[in-house]
Amino acid sequence: MKNPIRIGILGCGNVGSALVYLVAQEPDEFTVEKIAVNRIEASREPHIDISKLTADSSSVVVDQNVEIVVELIGGITVAKDLIELALKNKKPVVTANKELMAKHGTELLRIAKDNGVDLLFEASVCGAIPIVRLLKESLVGEEITRIVGILNGTTNYILTKMTEDRLDFEQALQMAQKLGYAEKDPTADIKGYDAGAKAAILTSSAFITFVDPDSVFIEGIADITLQDIDFAIKNGMVIKLVAVIEKLRNEISSELQISIRVHPMMIKISHPLASVRNSYNAVFIEGEAIGEMMLYGKGAGGLPTASAVLGDILDAKHNMSLNTFNRFAEPRLIPIYDQNKLTSEFYIAVDVADEPGVLAKVAQIFGSNRISISSMEQNGFGQNARLVFFTHSAMEADMKETVNQLSELESVKKVGSVIRVMV
Ligand code: HSE
Distance 322 CA to ligand 1 centre (A): 35
The identity of residue 16, as a single letter, is G
Q: Report the distance separating Cα 112 and Cα 328, nearest Å.
A: 9
Ligand 1 site, residue 154, Cβ cutoff 6 A? yes
97 alpha carbon – ligand 1 mean position (Å): 11
Question: Which positions are catalytic?
Answer: 198
Ligand 1 and 193: CB distance under 6 A: no
Dist. CA 21 → ligand 1 center (Å):
21
Q: Verify whether ligand 1 is closer than 6 Å to residue 194 (CB atom).
A: yes
Give the predicted TM-score (pTM) of the model.
Answer: 0.96
Strands (E), 356-422: 373-379, 385-391, 394-395, 412-421
The answer to whether the CB of 158 falls within 8 A of the CB of 169 is yes
> Which of 393, 306, 303, 281 lies closest to 346 in space, CA to CA?
393
Three-state secondary-structure class, residue 144: strand
Q: Estimate to the nearest angstrom the gap between the alpha carbon of 154 and the chain centroid.
A: 11
Give the closest residue (by CA) to ligand 1 atom 2.
152
Report the C-alpha gap between 213 and 249 in whole angstroms: 21
pLDDT-derived band at 233 (thresholds 50, 70, 90) equals very high
Quote the ligand 1 centre to 198 CA distance (angstroms): 10
Cα(260)–Cα(207) distance, integer angstroms: 12
Cβ of residue 158 lying under 6 Å from some atom of ligand 1:
no
Name the nearest CA neighbour of 374 among 394, 393, 390, 395.
390
Distance 363 CA to ligand 1 centre (A): 40
Ligand 1 pocket check for 181: Cβ under 6 Å: yes
398 vs 415: CA distance, rounded Å: 15
Q: Is the dihedral of CA 400, 348, 373, 274 positive or negative?
A: positive
Average pLDDT over residues 325-344: 93
For residue 185, CA distances in Å to 20, 62, 100, 177, 337 come to 27, 35, 20, 9, 32
Is the Cα torsion angle 32, 35, 40, 41 positive or negative in sign? negative
Residue 1 pLDDT level (bands cut at 50, 70, 90): low
Q: Which residues pair with 256 in a beta bridge?
A: 249
pLDDT at 183: 85
pLDDT digits (tens, 9 = 90+) for 183-225: 889 999 999 999 999 999 999 999 999 999 999 999 999 999 9
Dihedral sign for Cα atoms in the order 151, 152, 155, 161? positive
Question: Any bridge partners for residue 283, and if so which?
Answer: 149, 295
Q: List residues bridging with 297 in a β-sheet.
A: 281
Residue 206 alpha carbon to ligand 1 centre in Å: 21
Phi, psi angles (nearest 5°) of residue 172: -65, -35
Q: Which atom of ligand 1 is nearest to the CA of 181?
A: 5
Q: Is 246 helix (H, G, I), strand (E, B) or coil?
A: strand
CA distances in angstroms from 399 to 236, 264, 304, 347, 391, listed in the order given: 23, 16, 40, 11, 10
- pLDDT tens per residue across span 246-297: 999 998 999 999 999 999 999 999 999 999 999 999 999 999 999 999 999 9
| Ligand 1 binding pocket includes 99 (Cβ within 6 Å) | no
Identify which of 97, 154, 191 to mutate to test ligand 1's pocket (most ligand atoms within 8 A of the CB).
154
pLDDT 10s digits, 339-383: 999 999 999 999 999 889 999 999 999 999 999 999 999 988 888
Locate the ligand 1 atom nearest the alpha carbon of residue 157 and give its number. Answer: 5
Domains of the chain with bracketed CATH = 5-127+302-321 (3.40.50.720), 142-298 (3.30.360.10), 341-421 (3.30.70.260)
Residue 173 CB–ligand 1 contact under 6 Å: no
**Around Cβ 318, how many Cβ atoms within 10 Å?**
12
Measured distance CA(189)–CA(172) in Å, rounded: 13
Phi, psi of 206 (to 5 degrees): -75, -35
pLDDT digits (tens, 9 = 90+) for 74-119: 999 999 999 999 999 999 999 999 999 999 999 999 999 999 999 9
Q: What is the mean pLDDT of the chain?
A: 96
H helices then E strands: how many in the chain? 13, 17
Span from the CA of 116 to the centroid of ligand 1 (angstroms) = 31
pLDDT band at 4 (very low <50, low <70, confident <90, very high): very high
Percent of the chain with pLDDT over 90: 95
Beta strands in 154-289 (DSSP E): 217-218, 237-249, 256-268, 280-287
Regarding the beta carbon of 153 and ligand 1, being less than 6 Å apart is answered yes
**Distance between CA 183 and CA 177 in Å, rounded?**
6
Q: Quick check: helix, strand or coil at residue 376? A: strand
State whether the beta carbon of 417 lies less than 6 angstroms from ligand 1.
no
Please report the pLDDT score of residue 364 as a whole number.
97
Q: In a mutational test of the pocket of ligand 1, which residue from 156, 177, 181 has the highest number of ligand atoms less than 8 Å from its CB?
A: 181
Residue 338 CB contacts under 8 Å (≥ 6 apart), including other chains: none
The arithmetic mean of pLDDT across residues 317-336, rounded, is: 92
Question: Phi/psi zone of residue 347: left (φ > 0), alpha (ψ -120 to 50 degrees), beta?
Answer: beta
* Whole-Å CA distances, 17 to 75, 85, 139, 393: 18, 23, 32, 49
Q: Which atom of ligand 1 is nearest to the CA of 198?
A: 8
99-128 residues labelled b (16+ CB within 10 A) or e (exposed) = bbbbbbbbebbebbbebebbbbbbbbbbbb
